[in-house]
Homo-oligomer: A and B are copies of this chain.
């Protein structure tokens, strides 16, 4: 039994084909930034008969279980990625759609300072750089 199955059980989820396949997909996909449609189509292509509604349900459950995280890089559709322990931000190549991850301690630090200066504490944050190849 693979590692993923433990994760599913730990989250109180039955080990079913759609869940295992979707979890694998995040691990095997280069970059690991996928939309519900991406996953649905890939499952279809590999001959699995999984409904789009199930994909959405599984993604929602995975997110609730902190297995994955959800991002809204544009207003149209959500992108999911495996929840890594360490936080990171994203760069989206607007020409190719590629997503690059990065972390910058200086920025992280400043963010907390700024929130504090206004009397707040950060619950969460989202930093996305939309970039293109240098011209």
**Residues of A that sit less than 8 Å from B by CB:** 70, 72, 74-75, 78, 91, 93-94, 100, 102, 104, 106-107, 110-111, 114-116, 118-135
Contact = CB atoms under 8 A, between A and B. Distances in A.
Number of copies: 2
A100 B125 CA distance: 14
Contacts of A104: 110, 114
A24 B53 CA distance: 43
Contacts of A114: 91, 102, 104, 129
Given A116-B134, A118-B131, A120-B131, 19 more contacts: A70-B75, A93-B120, A102-B118, A104-B110, A106-B107, A106-B110, A107-B110, A111-B129, A115-B131, A120-B129, A120-B132, A121-B134, A122-B129, A122-B131, A123-B131, A125-B128, A125-B130, A126-B127, A126-B128
A100 B8 CA distance: 39
A70 to B, nearest CB: 8
Contacts of A123: 94, 130-132
Contacts of A102: 114, 118
Nearest to A124: B130
